[in-house]
Amino acid sequence: MIFYNNVLAKSFLKEKESLFQNRMVHFTRYKCLEIWEDMEVQLHEKQFEQYFFLTIA
């Protein structure tokens, strides 16, 4: 889940940061992400899912 350019995202982000990740939730100060940034976020989500389910099994 990605929150774009809202009050909650801006409260988590510092002045120079553009993206904040917390497990499966991502906050960004921009209205949209570039393609490579969006792919990187999806990759981290997939890695988190795989490692999470691997530790449970």
Domain spans in the chain, listed from the N-terminal domain onward: 2-56
Measure the CA–CA gap between 14 and 30, rounded to whole angstroms. 13
Are the CB atoms for 9 and 40 separated by under 8 Å?
no
pLDDT in tens, 42-51: 777 788 888 8
Q: Is the pTM of this model over 0.85?
A: no
pLDDT at 16: 65
Instruction: Please state, in angstroms and as integers, the Cα–Cα distance from residue 42 to each residue in 18, 20, 23, 54, following that order.
Output: 16, 14, 12, 18
pLDDT in tens, 2-54: 666 667 766 766 666 666 666 777 777 667 667 777 777 777 778 888 888 88
